[in-house]
Amino acid sequence: MLVAQGRRAALAVSRWWAARASGATDRADALGLLALGLALLALDVGGVGPTSPVLDVPAPRAWQGALLLVATLLLASKRRRPVGVLVAVVVLSVVDALLGGGLGMYLVLFDALFAVAVHASVRARRCTQGVVGAGVLAGAVAAVVAGLAARDVVQVVLVLVAMFLTPFWWGGDVRRTEELARSEARRADLERERADLARAHADDAARIAALDRATAVQDERASMARDLHDAVAGHLAAVAIHAEAALARPADAARDRTALRAVRAGALDALTEMRAMILVLRAGAGADDLPAPPGLDQVASLDVDLAGAGLPAVSAAVGQTAYRIAQEAVTNAHKHGSGRPVLTARTSGGSLHLEVRNPVPAPVGARRDLPRDLPSSSSGLASMRERAAVLGGGVTAGAEGGAWVVRARLPLDPAPAPAPGPAAGEVPS
């Protein structure tokens, strides 16, 4: 846009300079006609008019030179006031003809007629052309009335047409050429502005595409971080909790081997989940190489006791989301409660309801300190909420009746909904 404005400013300056140059050209033309007319008078070259002067004045050539001087001075204003200059030049030409006529004054009249054809308005051009045409016709009628032969009448008409209508035809052609050039210049300016706008739009589209790509990358990174947390953090937290429990008790070979087996199982589960993630992210991995994502029917593999009559049948999308939420809820329960969590899954009102409950030995609502070597990323609860929100559900977590309870609701017929913010009083995982 700034480039287009600069071009318009440059064009305005060039037009102003062209106007100044055209004024200088007009003055130069006027001086040239004055010099040529005076030379023709000095050489006594005849022009348009009677062979002998009608007005008997002393030194008629001096008078003709004065008239020629006034007429050429008027030509300097022919672009601004072409009709007024023509009227004045016609009057001066008539007086010059009565003094005997000169070719220099006719040349001035020719230039004035040409200026009207080029610079005057449409109405002024039509009026002037009508008057000149009427004058040529009047000359033809006068020739007939004077009793001239037909050949002479035709010659008179041709001479009048050549002298007074030729400037109009020539000037009209020049005017049309200039108008066409101006039209082409305006069209070129519009094309340049259009090209500038197209480039600006292309730049905007490129910036929008770059922002979309950056947003997609950020979303993908967030999704990868959530999947990695859900897949690995729970198993590693279980490993850390079993190791902490074994170290906190007196040495016992049988109990220590049981803790080591639990640690080994958790580590193997974490490695299995990590391998699945790597296969998904690795370039070139085919669909046959990828393990099927775990569903609700596999929550029994988690460190949790199942309550109720069993697990309901749900769709793959709901089952996979339910498994990941249950996996993170178990980890959350281990952090905030004690003992083995209990998971309940049921369907009602078109939704799957999950509940993971774990006793809290401390006073209700108080959070038990985590082991020193078990860090918390504070993203588990947010991850569960995000997964539930994708299907149009929700997650709550907090102390309730001497237990730490995590509840999730997932519609059986998923409908995307925005992820809710943290509820008041909830402790992040």
Strand partners, 345: 354
Classify residue 429 as exposed, middle or buried by CB count within 10 Å of its CB (0-12, 13-18, 19+): buried
Q: Following DSSP, what letter does each residue of 365-397 receive, concatenated?
A: TPPPPPPTT----S-HHHHHHHHHHHTT-EEEE
CB atoms within 10 A of CB 183: 10
Q: Computed from CA positions of residues 234, 235, 238, 239, in that sequence, does the dihedral angle turn out positive or negative?
A: negative
Q: How many Å separate Cα 143 from the centre of its chain?
A: 72
Do 27 and 101 meet the contact criterion of CB atoms below 8 Å apart? no
Strand partners, 409: 353, 394
Cα-Cα end-to-end distance for the chain: 53
Rounded to the nearest 10 degrees, the angle between the axes of helix 82-98 and helix 60-75 is 170
Length of the chain: 429
Rounded distance, CA 339 to CA 273, Å? 25
Determine the pLDDT at residue 57: 72
Unique residue bearing structure tokens 């402790």: 427
Rounded to the nearest 10 degrees, the angle between the axes of helix 60-75 and helix 103-119 is 20
Domains and CATH numbers, the chain: 2-197 (no CATH), 295-429 (3.30.565.10)
Unique residue bearing structure tokens 């082991």: 371
Determine the pLDDT at residue 428: 47
Closest CA to 343 of 391, 367, 310: 310
Rounded distance, CA 114 to CA 111, Å? 5
Q: Output the tens digit of pLDDT for each of the chain's 429 residues.
A: 444 555 555 445 444 444 444 667 878 888 888 888 888 888 877 665 555 666 677 777 888 888 889 998 998 888 888 989 999 999 998 888 888 778 888 889 899 999 998 888 889 888 988 888 888 888 889 888 888 888 888 888 888 888 888 888 888 888 889 889 888 989 998 999 999 999 999 989 999 988 988 888 787 777 767 766 666 766 677 677 767 777 777 777 777 777 777 777 777 777 776 776 666 666 444 545 556 678 888 887 777 888 876 788 888 888 888 888 888 888 877 777 777 888 888 888 889 999 999 887 655 444 444 444 445 555 778 888 888 888 889 999 888 888 889 999 999 887 654 544 444 444 445
Contacts of 408 (CB under 8 A, 6+ apart): 322, 325, 326, 329, 353, 354, 355, 384, 388, 393, 394, 395
Q: Following DSSP, what letter does each residue of 338-351 receive, concatenated?
A: -S--EEEEEEETTE
Both tokens of 175, joined, read 């005017």
Q: Following DSSP, what letter does each residue of 263-332 receive, concatenated?
A: HHHHHHHHHHHHHHHHHHHSTT--GGGSPPPP-GGGGGGSS-EEESS-PPP--HHHHHHHHHHHHHHHHH
Determine the pLDDT at residue 242: 67
Instruction: Indicate the SS3 state at residue 22.
Output: helix
Do 119 and 82 meet the contact criterion of CB atoms below 8 Å apart? yes
Rounded distance, CA 285 to CA 291, Å? 11
- Half-sphere exposure (Cβ direction) of 365: Cα atoms closer than 13 Å: 2
Strand partners, 355: 344, 407
Determine the pLDDT at residue 409: 93
Do 34 and 64 meet the contact criterion of CB atoms below 8 Å apart? no
Determine the pLDDT at residue 48: 58
